[in-house]
Amino acid sequence: MMISAKLFAGVVIVFMVITLALITAVYDQRQAIYGGGPSGGVRMSTAGGESWGYWGGAWAQSQVDDKTLFTSGYATASDNPDKVTIMFSVETQDERALVSQQQNAQKTAAVRAALVAKGIAADKIETTGYNLYQVREWDSDLSKYVYVGFKTTHSMKVELADISRAGDIIDAAVSAGANSVDNVYFGLSDAKMQSLRMQALKSAAEDARARGDAIASGLGVRITRVMSVNEGYTYTPSYTLYENRAASGADAAAPTQITPGSVQVTATVNAVFEIA
């Protein structure tokens, strides 16, 4: 009797597993046929007159009264930058907060004076951050962190239209007391940015139309009109890393050479076409 009971229990478990698998398969099939969307596969309806599918960057939707085709076009346009932004900091540290702060103020004033002497207007030297905080270091003898002083950091930003002067401005700031060059990046003026964006959008729109024509041709239909369009773009400036020559042991008298790269604008155009 004990063997029969175990056998019966095993048969029941197998039956339940098979039933669950069949229910899951039926549910998945119904989802594929009646549910989902562009991210859920292909949908078909024999009575409702509606079907659509999604492959890569295009999906087509057809209805009894409205047949549409959706495509996305992409394009990238690049150009040489016409402005440069330099971000640097003055950092000081002392056991006393007031001394650290005063030392920082003196060095920052010297950096500003050096930049003004290079022809940078005083109101173009922007403060982007200011911090005063207590510094801790790990003491291996005590096996704990101990406070060793106060650090003051004054971060500034300078933007130049003449990108060839980037190296000279960096050298002037560092020589006057800036001890951290945080970032150097090249970008586009508003006018040049708008021009490059229009180029990228035009090419992306042409790409969306070309994709639509290719899909329509493959399906044996044709595009009759544009129903709707939306667009977007991303802007990628060119970044340059700066290496402190004093820290690297290089000749401090050698001028800093900054070489910019190209700036890119990438556009995306999504279009919905009517097909017949």
Q: Is 132 helix (H, G, I), strand (E, B) or coil?
A: strand
Taken in order 104, 186, 230, 191, the sign of the CA dihedral is: positive
**Contacts for 31 with CB less than 8 Å, ≥ 6 apart:** 40
**pLDDT higher than threshold 90 for residue 131:** yes
pLDDT tens, position by position, 188-231: 999 999 999 999 999 999 999 999 999 999 999 999 999 999 99
pLDDT of residue 86: 95
Q: How do beta strands 67-79 and 125-139 pair?
A: unpaired
Helix (H) or strand (E) holding 2, with range, is: helix 2-34
Q: Which of the residue ranges 10-24, 43-57, 253-267 would you say has the lowest mean pLDDT?
A: 43-57
Confidence of residue 260 (pLDDT cuts 50, 70, 90): confident
188 near 82, Cβ under 8 Å?
yes
Q: Which residue has the tokens 């150097």?
A: 184
Confidence of residue 11 (pLDDT cuts 50, 70, 90): low
DSSP 255: P
- If one compares 154 and 34, the residue with the highest pLDDT of the two is 154
pLDDT of residue 52: 38
**pLDDT higher than threshold 70 for residue 114:** yes
Average pLDDT, integer, range 239-262: 64
CA–CA dist 205, 78 (Å, integer): 17
| Beta strand residue intervals within the chain, DSSP E | 43-44, 51-55, 58-62, 67-79, 83-94, 125-139, 144-160, 180-187, 223-236, 238-240, 263-275
Please name each of the domains of the chain with its CATH number: 2-71 (no CATH), 83-187 (3.30.70.2970)
111 near 90, Cβ under 8 Å?
yes
Give the length of the chain: 276
Confidence of residue 254 (pLDDT cuts 50, 70, 90): confident
- If one compares 75 and 51, the residue with the highest pLDDT of the two is 75
Average pLDDT, integer, range 132-152: 92
Helix (H) or strand (E) holding 170, with range, is: helix 166-176
**pLDDT higher than threshold 80 for residue 125:** yes
How far, CA to CA in Å, does 207 sit from each of 60, 76, 86, 178? 17, 11, 37, 48
153 DSSP β-pair partners = 91, 131
**Rounded to two decimals, what is the model's pTM?**
0.64
Confidence of residue 48 (pLDDT cuts 50, 70, 90): very low
